[in-house]
Chains A and B, each alone.
Chain A
Amino acid sequence: MANRFDAIVVGAGPAGNAAALTLARGGLDVLQVERGEAPGTKNVQGAILYADALERVVPGCRRGAPLERPIVEQRMWMMDESSYVGTHFRAPRGEGPPGRYTILRAPFDRWFSEKVREAGALLICETTVRELLVERDRVVGVRTERAGGDVHADVVVLADGVNSRLAVVAGLRPELRATEVALAVKETVFLERGTLEARFNIGRDEGVATEMMGAITRGMVGTGFLYTNKESVSVGVGCLLAHFKATGLRPYDLLEQLKSHPAVAPLLRGGEAREFAAHLLPEGGYDSLPGMHGDGWVMVGDAAHLNNAVHREGSNLAMTSGRLAGEAILKLKAGGRPMTARNLSAYREALARSFVIKDLHRYRRVPRLLENNRQFFTDYPELVNHAVAKMLQVDGIDKRTKQREALRAFRDRRGLGGLAGDAFKLWRALGSRGGR
């Protein structure tokens, strides 16, 4: 039985599922290959889902999908050793459906895969693709590890995650560098539902997302997070892999220190940690984007480094890229045109027109900025915490003197030039037009 399909999708994460769903709905004969025991068993994320991107791929998803809690409060904490300065944005549920939900990736990916199966794609699990089949520089299929494991197709969609082994092994993209990825570790801590809702002051169907930065990453560039699920809390921290390598700090020690921070510990007290996970996140941004198409293949999601670290947006870029790749392939199929690199560039162009590349391009300087300016993770959180602490202390010192001292502290630490330089760098990376 010659195994031949119109398209093969490698990987059943958000990107792979969005691509397979789009292709199957377009009437193509699709094979999706997942190496885990079931979709989701190999995928890790914070995890926040952007419902808008999913709605475009799976209309009406808010009803059926296993979503944990809609986010009604976003907290941003700048943390010192034992304190934090934070801003909390809380908006009661507006009329429109909530934009963001916390999710648990294992049940969510299983649900998403059910949609792909219902659309007619054939999903096989527990099957690892070892390499691409290439003939005369053209990808013609994949070789799985199973006996008689070769499968051919007109096009292969590479959605095999950040490590992107298939493309690296086939020489279609360079190996990742330690400055391009962040290593995040995470625990899922279970709490009795009432206790969780009381501690975060939320109702039954409300969630809180907390992003943290500062002393918790011990001077490394990185952030922490704390997301409320229905009966558990996802707590994690991630730093640039190059910084982990340079400092020799152990990831699980960093997580333990975060969990014991005075502002975090009371939220987790009495909780039962039932899973410890680790994952790499593409952090290189625009300048790390590899080639995403070629003769007989396209690359989507984390495999193509499509992750906007600044806004912690990964899954929406993944789903959008999967959908756009699917649509491009369907157009070529409808027109009877071959899956050549030139024809598949339509996918890359669609990406460029979408927010995906625009946002990445806008923040193209941020990765290098953060990598080389650790002060944003060390000096400023500390200075801000001290300044606010002093201002709030009623100790007979007049406010003007307090303000002068606070400013002097900033100046002593960074110097006038430094302060101006930092402000300019931030403006140029985040604020200026196009960030060229």
Chain B
Amino acid sequence: MSAVAEKLHHNRYRVDEGRPHIRLRDPDICRDDCRHRACLTICPAGAYSLDADGLVRVSTDGCLECGSCRIVCAEHDNLDWNWPRGGYGILYKFG
């Protein structure tokens, strides 16, 4: 749980259990080909992390739907990036 987790506690989400809206196309590309792995630092919600085996993991529960990860991953285009289903995901109270 990165430090940002504390920040996301106040946000309102409706998690689409079992239907993450962002998926890694091929995890090996992250480990073998991508030297930059900007997603690990750029995501404002800290949704990207490295697991014990050095694979990038994405958890879309706290996603703020800004789109930064998709743009910085353009080099390898390794993200299957979509909006969540209607009414799901972040639901801003103030915006």
The answer to A–B direct touch (Cβ < 8 A) is yes
Let me know if B83 and A128 touch, CB within 8 A: yes
Interface size class of A (residues with CB under 8 A): 35 or more
Q: List 5 additional contacts besides A44-B92, A248-B38, A252-B4; criterion CB under 8 Å.
A: A106-B93, A145-B86, A232-B94, A276-B4, A280-B67
Question: Which B residues are in CB contact (< 8 Å) with A273?
Answer: 7, 10
In whole angstroms, what is the CA distance A125 to B85 when docked? Answer: 11
Chain A residues in contact with chain B, CB under 8 A?
Answer: 35-37, 40-45, 47, 104-106, 109, 125-128, 130, 144-146, 162-163, 165, 175-178, 181, 183, 185, 187-188, 232, 234, 241, 244-245, 248-253, 273-280
Query: Distance (Å) between the CB of B95 and the closest chain A CB?
Result: 3
Let me know if A37 and B14 touch, CB within 8 A: yes
Question: Which B residues are in CB contact (< 8 Å) with A278?
Answer: 44-45, 64, 66, 68
B3, B64, B84: which has the most chain A beta carbons within 10 Å? B64
Q: Please give me the residue from chain B that is nearest to A252 by CB atom.
A: B4
Let me know if B42 and A244 touch, CB within 8 A: yes
Query: Is B11's CB within 8 Å of the partner chain A?
Result: yes
In whole angstroms, what is the CA distance A127 to B88 when docked? Answer: 10
Interface size class of B (residues with CB under 8 A): 35 or more
Chain B residues in contact with chain A, CB under 8 A?
Answer: 3-4, 7-8, 10-11, 14, 36, 38, 41-42, 44-46, 64-68, 70-72, 74, 82-87, 89-95
Question: Which A residues are in CB contact (< 8 Å) with B70?
Answer: 163
Let me know if B93 and A185 touch, CB within 8 A: no
Let me know if A175 and B74 touch, CB within 8 A: yes
In whole angstroms, what is the CA distance A269 to B95 when docked? Answer: 22
In whole angstroms, what is the CA distance A104 to B94 when docked? Answer: 5
Query: Distance (Å) between the CB of A305 and the closest chain B CB?
Result: 14
List 14 interface pairs A-B (beta carbons < 8 Å), by A numbering.
A42-B89, A44-B95, A127-B86, A128-B84, A130-B82, A188-B94, A241-B71, A248-B41, A252-B4, A274-B10, A275-B92, A277-B11, A277-B95, A278-B44
A144, A146, A183: which has the most chain B beta carbons within 10 Å? A183
Q: Which residue of the partner chain, among B7, B64, B65, B87, contacts A187 with CB atoms under 8 Å?
A: B7
Let me know if A280 and B68 touch, CB within 8 A: yes
Known contacts A37-B91, A251-B42, A276-B8: does B66 contact A128 (CB below 8 Å)? Answer: no
